Amino acid sequence: MFKRAIYPAIFILLCLIGFIASYALAEEYYYRDLPKVAEGAPALFHRLSAQACGAQDSFFSCATVSRSPYAALFGVPLAVYGLFYYLAVLWMACAFAFLPDALRRPAAAALFWVTLLGVIEATALLIVTLAAVKALCPLCVATYVLNLLLFVAAVRHLFRHRIHPLRPFPPSEAEPALATGPARIAAALALVVIVGAAAGVSREANAYLQQSKTRFIAANKEKEIRSAVEAFSRQKPEPIAFDTLQVHGPADAPVTIIEVSDFLCPYCAHAAGLMDRLVAANPDKINVRFVNLPLDTACNRFMRRPLHRGSCDLAIGAVCAAEQGRLDAYQRSAFALHKKQPAPEDLRSVVLAAGLSEETFLQCLRRPESVRLLQDQIEQAGRYGITSTPTVFINGKRYQGRLSLEALQQIVDMETQAAETKKP
């Protein structure tokens, strides 16, 4: 009886470890911009991810991989698919432990094929992260190793019991347990129940993570705003000097906002929307200036790996749009692309949607001065140690924390009042 339980026990142990690692990765995906260690933080396995996920900007970094476009499929993080996989294999192994001897051979063959799919998936993800993201997630690598160990355990069991994965029964043996139609139907139904239950639990886990993030943000909104405003007020202005592209507001406005952005960054799109609303509410108080920082090695020498391929083309396009006085419209059109890697025809659609003269735009793209201006902005960002987008400066002070309209409005009011008190 003990030997009979060893094989399922190995599978169950490996799957439990894989489930915890996958759940921690799902937390990393959803909670990457939330405090994980603070009191009341939603992450259950924050200590595991803090120890195993590596530094933010290093080669071994869960954060870098989770921010890549390859971290999700159909809007669901790959870690949730990992939860489904480990649950399905775990319950198959539990069923295997209680199966009669006549059914253990085909069940072992089924586990072989399922774990083989897990190895294929792990190999594909490893290749993608190395080739496209150029970073490795240590926790992801741990799940790849677990997938391999599950496959090795399945192969070893088949080898020891001389089970062929395509023909689990030797030709000389009858198949009494599977000979009847009801037995076959029962086995198929059991498999459907296992897969359905694993999918249901994974879906609920995904929904819980989304809801807990929303609840945490809502519960800590006032605290977060107060913290951002207080951190801003304690700063001293920096002598910021960018070759900026003006977007909104009068040049003599009491509040100058410098927005360092990348057109393929979803958080930058959110920040741009906030700036539009902020300017609309304070038309005479704010001057917003835009700075290009494409996170792509094609034009940014400070990038070790390309995070947003194609963002350099959109960035040089912003320079030419500003020349025609249509940067505002170009910005909205570019952020509306929502493409992982825009093609040349996408850039053309942005130009047309922004109402730019295509001929003048193309002439601008070919001029060395346009390229030089973009490079100057990238060099200036590197000089100030800016490595991520969006980065926002308000009157020379760097905004810290999550961007919110409420916090920005409080800072604008505070800076406007300070400017008025300085007037003679």
Q: From CA 291, how far away is CA 63, in angstroms rounded?
A: 24
Percent of the chain with pLDDT over 90: 40
Lowest mean pLDDT among 37-51, 59-73, 144-158: 37-51
Runs of H (alpha helix) within 220-326: 221-234, 266-281, 311-323
Q: From CA 323, how far away is CA 377, in angstroms rounded?
A: 16
Q: Are 65 and 137 in contact (CB under 8 A)?
A: yes
* Mean pLDDT score across all residues of the chain: 86
Mean pLDDT (whole number) for 158-169: 80
CA triple 145-147-150, angle to 5 deg: 110
pLDDT of residue 4: 60
Q: H-helix or E-strand containing 368?
A: helix 368-383
Please determine, for residue 114, whether its predicted confidence score (pLDDT) is greater than 90: yes
Q: Are 199 and 371 in contact (CB under 8 A)?
A: no
pLDDT of residue 312: 92
pLDDT of residue 55: 67
Q: From CA 370, how far away is CA 62, in angstroms rounded?
A: 36
pLDDT of residue 424: 64
pLDDT of residue 339: 75
Please determine, for residue 117, whether its predicted confidence score (pLDDT) is greater than 50: yes
Q: Are 210 and 30 in contact (CB under 8 A)?
A: yes
pLDDT of residue 342: 84
At a CB cut-off of 8 Å and minimum separation 6, what does 252 contact? 287
Output Rg (C-alpha) for the chain, integer angstroms: 28
Please determine, for residue 1, whether its predicted confidence score (pLDDT) is greater than 50: no
- What secondary structure letter does DSSP report for 136? B
- Give the global pTM: 0.69
Q: 72-73 and 76-77: which strand pairing? A: antiparallel
How far from 197 is each of 42, 74, 90, 194, CA to CA, in Å?
25, 20, 12, 5
Q: Are 306 and 134 in contact (CB under 8 A)?
A: yes
At a CB cut-off of 8 Å and minimum separation 6, what does 53 contact? 28, 61, 62, 63, 137, 138, 139
How far from 99 is each of 14, 88, 110, 214, CA to CA, in Å?
20, 16, 13, 43
Lowest mean pLDDT among 321-330, 333-342, 410-419: 333-342
Q: Are 274 and 288 in contact (CB under 8 A)?
A: no
Residue 62 is encoded by which pair of tokens? Answer: 């869960």
Q: From CA 424, how far away is CA 413, in angstroms rounded?
A: 19
Split at pLDDT 50, 70, 90, the class of 410 is very high
Q: H-helix or E-strand containing 245?
A: strand 245-248
pLDDT of residue 164: 83
Mean pLDDT (whole number) for 343-351: 88
Q: Which residue has the higher pLDDT, 185 or 229?
A: 229
Closest CA to 397 of 272, 232, 246, 242: 232
Split at pLDDT 50, 70, 90, the class of 95 is confident
Domains and CATH numbers, the chain: 2-218 (1.20.1440.130), 238-422 (3.40.30.10)
Q: From CA 420, how far away is CA 105, in angstroms rounded?
A: 83
Q: Which residue has the higher pLDDT, 291 or 341?
A: 291
Decide: helix, strand or coil at residue 387.
coil
Split at pLDDT 50, 70, 90, the class of 291 is very high
pLDDT of residue 374: 92
Split at pLDDT 50, 70, 90, the class of 166 is confident
Tens digit of each residue's pLDDT (9 = 90 or more) over 28-48: 899 877 766 666 677 788 777
Decide: helix, strand or coil at residue 60.
strand
Mean pLDDT (whole number) for 346-371: 90
Asked whether the bond before 106 is cis by omega within 30 degrees of 0, the reply is: no
